[in-house]
Structure 1
């Protein structure tokens, strides 16, 4: 039987008050012994007993209330008077000290009153003892002093921003109070400190930016801005809460960068354009790093980059056009080389160098950003599709490749350098809208290299075709690949002809080599029914006999303008070997039988077109090697002229090559391309209408452009014309009610 007498409230509390006073003296640093186990157990047991006594002696409710009041009494008596006397950094230090003491007090008292936590509090859903202690500090200390503390913190942060050393640990500890009094939420930190921090940050950097934008160059400003942002990030690491990072940087970026971007980028002697002009790569990389931090901050930089590259390209276009025009005036009347002037070759080289340079900018300064790749692409598309010295870039690039790939055409480049240059030219082709025009010019040049054995390397020829195929698709290169294969087959056919000749009774007086080509792969060449000299005619007949005997269902068409002849000419001084065209050879051989012939007689005997008669006679009578003498003498050919062989001709060389005046076939290439475009547009219209059956005009035009723009940029007027033509040919019909809608006629 338990006969223990109940502990009365006041008696029990006096005992507890002794323990609480002892704890206060310890916290205040007064002389006092630490709690021993006996004292601790006495206090714990007192509370336990007072809470487990039978009613009306269960004092749990009263003890819970007095527990709370014990904190308030200590705060009012000791804590607040001490804190109210301090300011600035001293206040912060005192606040941290008092907060640490308060947590110690909470820890000890909650142990003494632990039984309340275990039963009374959980049963009545009340705040825990620990929370009660925190709430007292928040309500009585924090609420009164948080404003002053915040101002003191912001002042220290300002001092640090201005370069002064501060106690970062102190700030971290003070801000921990703002976080902890939130009791699991960030509400107190955000509302009582962070809002003011963000406001003061914006205000601080607004002032700084206003001064720097006036005083500093763009690079100096960016250095300062980058340093400030780095320091703000360090601030978060050192004492601010991590949640503040994005908001803090956002404020700094807004004031330092966003609000001053236009003025900064357009600074007269140091802005973005000047940095690009002066190749300030480090500064440009910093500009990219900084402005990528703000929404749409890189768009103005990319736009200035695009305009700069475009102006550099347009400068090249202007320089080359002016140089070419000056050369044209100077060389007026003189024949020109077929692979473009040195100025135009230099233009393509400089465009390649320009692309290399600014592609490196995109990679090194602008972090390989797709935005800057797009800007580079648009800039190059802008000037690469301009007419340069009366030529399109498509033609110039085809000429450049020809010069690179033919024997003796390129500068002294190694195989690796040629491969690298070809790769760069093919990449530039991506910017050309008239890829079909490049294809046709390139095919013309390729045919000459292959047929006249001018190609420097089969490997390089195959290499560029592989690159073009990858860039533009198999259809783009199919004819060119066919040409290369054709030539290999032609060599095999020639060997078969040589073997076949050995079995023939009649041997030719001349060596004959024939290149058989497939019509569909090669450019169209005019076929001339030339009246060949007897020796040549016999060779042609013999090859015809061989071909008909070995090949079924194929018809030969002879393209004499592409032929070449090596003949021995016996002049009075010495014999000289001549390397000439079939036309030139046929013309010279007329003078084996006739001493003198008129222009008209030469034309009639050879059955040669007028323009070819004049061109060939010019090359033999008016150019460097005068194998024929013209009457009357002069530098131009007239239909009234007459000619005779110059038997007294001599030269220090034993073998000479007599070039034929080049034909400017640019006009024909353009005509062929335009014809192909009409066919391509027709096919695209029919293909689209066949699948869609009914389409309005605008939609049909858009779909046709989308299909064809990979090879060329179709002209809207031409599309309209082709639609009208297809209506006439009854492929399409207009809708009876709406003439802007077309129907497909199956």
Structure 2
């Protein structure tokens, strides 16, 4: 059974301290034997009795004994009597720690760490018990001393930590840190070590960080000064030596793997047993030694990795260099140049076919292939980092607008892109499925994003859309709408407003035709003519007027005049301009006596006008056909050439288009097809149309530049020449890239028209004329 010594007299300091020291010694050295609640309460009561002793307070009657949790209000005695006990406790802790310190001298390295951490854990556990035993002293005497500004007085638990710091830590910390650094170095060298020892040392260093100004607060000063600083310095030395040796003996890619592993290990080391605040200084130091000191060799290796498409190594290099300031800048520059060269090379390979005859699909696919490859690289290797995305965009903009195919004109890319759109959206057996078509249209928009001359694309696209709608060759109305929506999203409402108006006109024309047919369906003699008209707004449709006169064949003349009257009655004041060169029809053959087959000729209106003449006779001269159709010589020659080539007409005299040449109806015409397409474009007309489109673009650009200049000057009132030019370029760059000489010409035009004037006495300054 435990033998508890009797409580000492309340006013006997020597007896009281001897009683307390015996108990404290048991807590500090033999806590594992156990401390009964009775023993604990006796120690607490001994302190209470001494602090409230009436020897120092004559006439003061002691209150009944209370436990550690009681609220004792009378503390006059405690305020006077606590000093002796506090000082005795201080001296005891000093003696106790001296013994521990002396015994530590026989240990080194890992054994020293075991000794230090074992005694630290035992000491701090015992200290918390002692703190509770002295709870009455803490609440009263200690509190009053602290309130009065005594910097050398602490609550008992803090006193135990201060004592450890003064009488143990300061004497052994260098030996402890030497042992810790050796242990960590062994772990870095691949050995398995007891990491719990380092964790306990770290916890003790952190716990000893007490604020001298306010003992109730803790700081990391001890940990920072005595652990973190030497640890980070040792890490720097270790990795500097290791990295330099490794680089000299291994490849750059192997070094990057090593550096990546080491950085990961250090980040895990912080999580395992260091204080979280060490992460930044440690990793920053390691990044400087492992990455920054070796940037040159990584930058030099980057081009080789690009050439060989080493995505894993590229990502590793990106991850390492992204850790240091400006580490990625040279990579972005080299990546941009590499992609630009790859794009130019890809176009050069297919440019042998010649820019003029380049197949749009081949061209667009080549552009997309390069973009797809390097966009995937940016996504996977560079994690979609904004700087690499910008480098990719710059490179793509260069090779899309300035390549071998675009030598003659930067407008070639948007033209070919528009032609590729046309081939996809026009009815064809080669058209992709609806889901695949949407993907292809999205790919087209990827290229479109990089096209500088978006106005050129718009012109060609609108002309081709007009042809698809007029000729009824659109593959899908949904696909047409989808493409226009994509263009609208990319360039805004104004860019696609005319395109959307075309579809509106098509719907109105259908309603108009239905009304016309309902109105005249009962008229006799009209059943042989299936007549349909598209009424299209001049402002929205890019359709050129006919370049020749034309006499409407009498077979359709009656219906033609009926529609004119019907439309004028419905819309008085509107004028219809007939575009016969865009019209078409079908004719059935009734003249082939030897053949039982009836053929259907799909013809242009001009071809219809020529062939219907052969209802009256079987042979005509060039001059006779010119007179009966009123077509000019150039157009008539082109149409006759197609009919002669198809052997519908036979040339019996002279050459096609020559004066005096004669054209006979081929009475023995035969074909494997029942429906023969004769309405094919004349190549010379196609070339002229392309030239006219480019010419229209140039004219439109002049107007756009003038409008932009007026708009800017109206807002700013006065402006310097250079500032005005830059503002015009900025405002129009989403449509096309204005050339400075063209802007200057537009400014001169506006000066002549007196929209602007030069400011007197100020060089290159313009003002707006209201």
TM-score interval for Structure 1 and Structure 2 normalised by the shorter chain:
0.7 to 0.9
| RMSD (Å) for aligned C-alpha atoms | 3.6
Contact 1:531 1:606 in 2 (8 A): yes
Give matches, 1:200-219, under 5 Å. 200-217=234-251
Using structure 1 for the length normalisation, give the TM-score. 0.85
- Counterpart position of 2:765: 741
Give the alignment of 1:147-166 within 5 angstroms: 147-166=174-193
Measure how far apart 1:284 and its partner are: 4.6
Provide the rounded CA distance (Å) in 1 between the counterparts of 2:510 and 2:422: 23
Q: Give, in whole Å, the separation in 2 of the partners of 1:613 and 1:236.
A: 89
Unaligned ranges ≥5, structure 2: 1-7, 59-76, 211-217
1:385 correspondence with 2:401: yes
Question: Against the structure 1 CA distance between its residues 587 and 164, is the aligned structure 2 distance closer, same or farther, given a 3 Å change threshold?
Answer: same
Q: Which residue of 2 aligns with 1:67?
A: 89
2:134 pairs with 1:134: no
Post-superposition shift, 1:79? 2.0
Q: 1:403 offset after TM fit, Å?
A: 0.7
From 658, 664, 672, the equivalent of 2:696 is: 672
Q: CA deviation at 1:427?
A: 4.0
Secondary structure of the residue that 2:536 maps to in structure 1? coil
| Greater mean alpha carbon deviation, residues 230-239 or residues 444-453 | 230-239
Shift of the alpha carbon at 1:190?
A: 0.5
Q: Within 2, Cα distance between the matches of 1:355 and 1:129?
A: 71
Distance 1:217 1:455 in 2: 58
TM-score, scaled to structure 2? 0.83
Q: Which residue is 2:563 aligned to?
A: 543
* 8 Å Cα contact 1:384-1:393 kept in structure 2: yes
Assess, with a 3 A threshold, how the Cα gap between structure 1 residues 193 and 487 changes in structure 2: closer, same or farther. Answer: same
The count of residues paired between Structure 1 and Structure 2 equals 716
Partner of 2:719, secondary structure, is strand
Structure 2: how far apart are the matches of 1:585 and 1:24?
A: 119
Q: Measure how far apart 1:656 and its partner are.
A: 1.5
Is 1:562 aligned with 2:582?
Answer: yes
1:728 positional shift: 0.8
Tell me which residue corresponds to 2:224: 190
Distance change >3 Å, CA 534–CA 160, structure 1 → 2: same
1:300-354 per-residue CA deviation (whole Å, 9 max, x = no partner) reads: 45444444443332233212222346xx7xxxxxxxxxxx75x431221343454
Shift of 1:360: 4.4
* Paired residues for 1:465-484 under 5 Å: 465-484=484-503
Name the CA shift for 1:345/1:625 in 2 (closer, same or farther; >3 Å).
farther
**Matched residues in 1 for 2:47 and 2:528: separation?**
138
Could you say which residue in structure 1 is the equivalent of 2:509?
A: 490
Q: 1:589 to 1:84 in 2, by over 3 A?
A: same
1:375 is matched with which residue?
391
Q: C-alpha displacement at 1:285, in angstroms?
A: 4.7
Contact 1:573/1:650, CA 8 A, preserved across alignment: no
Aligned to 1:227: 261
Alignment of 1:89-168 (within 5 A): 89-103=110-124, 106-107=127-128, 116-124=137-145, 125=150, 126-168=153-195
Q: What are the equivalent positions in structure 2 for 1:171-320 lying under 5 Å apart?
A: 171-183=198-210, 184-217=218-251, 220-267=254-301, 271=305, 273-274=306-307, 277-278=309-310, 280=311, 282-320=312-350
**Conserved in 2, the CA contact under 8 Å of 1:565 and 1:585?**
yes
For the Cα contact (< 8 Å) 1:406–1:454, is it kept in 2? yes
The corresponding residue for 1:525 is 544
Which segment is superposed worse, 521-530 or 490-499?
Answer: 490-499
- Choose from 670, 684, 708 the match for 1:650: 670
For the Cα contact (< 8 Å) 2:614–2:665, is it kept in 1?
A: no
| Secondary structure in 1 matching 2:56 | coil
Q: Is the 8 A contact 1:530 1:607 kept in 2?
A: yes
User: Partner of 1:79 in structure 2?
Assistant: 100
Q: Distance in 1 between matches of 2:44 and 2:539?
A: 110
Q: Which of 556, 572, 576 is equivalent to 1:552?
A: 572
Matched residue, 1:54: 56
1:365 shift after superposition: 4.5
Structure 1 segments unaligned to the other structure (5+ residues) = 329-339
Who is 1:441 aligned against? Answer: 460
Q: Provide the rounded CA distance (Å) in 1 between the counterparts of 2:249 and 2:648.
A: 76
Aligned to 2:639: 616
**1:422 Cα deviation from its structure 2 partner:** 1.8
CA distance in 2, matches of 1:491, 1:7: 118
Distance 1:604 1:215, change over 3 A: farther
SS of corresponding position for 2:663: strand
8 Å CA contact retained: 2:10, 2:16: no
Supply the distance in 2 between the matched residues of 1:649 and 1:39 (Cα, whole angstroms): 127
Residues 416-470 of structure 1: CA distance to partner in whole angstroms, max 9, x if unpaired?
A: 2112222332343222222111111011111111112212222222222222222
CA distance in 2, matches of 1:269, 1:506: 79
Question: CA 1:16–1:439 in 2, change beyond 3 Å: closer, same or farther?
Answer: closer
CA distance 1:424–1:553, change in 2 (3 Å): same
Cα 1:16/1:474, change in 2 over 3 Å:
closer
TM-fit CA distance, 1:362: 4.4
Deviation at 1:132, TM superposition (A): 3.0
Separation of aligned partners in 1, 2:420 and 2:259: 47
Q: CA deviation at 1:563?
A: 1.7
Cα distance change of structure 1 residues 222 and 268 upon mapping to structure 2, 3 Å threshold: closer
> Once structures 1 and 2 are overlaid, which stretch shifts more, 181-190 or 57-66?
57-66
Q: Is the 8 A contact 1:578 1:655 kept in 2?
A: yes
Looking at structure 2, the residues matched to 12 and 553 of structure 1 have their Cα atoms a distance apart, in angstroms, of: 123
What is the alpha-carbon distance in structure 2 between the residues aligned to residue 707 and residue 668 of structure 1? 26
Structure-1 residue corresponding to 2:425: 405
Cα distance in 2, alignment partners of residues 318 and 299 from structure 1: 29
Q: Is the contact between residue 320 and residue 344 of structure 1 (CA under 8 Å) also seen in structure 2? A: no
Q: Describe the SS at the equivalent of 1:243.
A: helix
Distance 1:597 1:36, change over 3 A: closer
Q: Distance in 1 between matches of 2:473 and 2:42?
A: 109
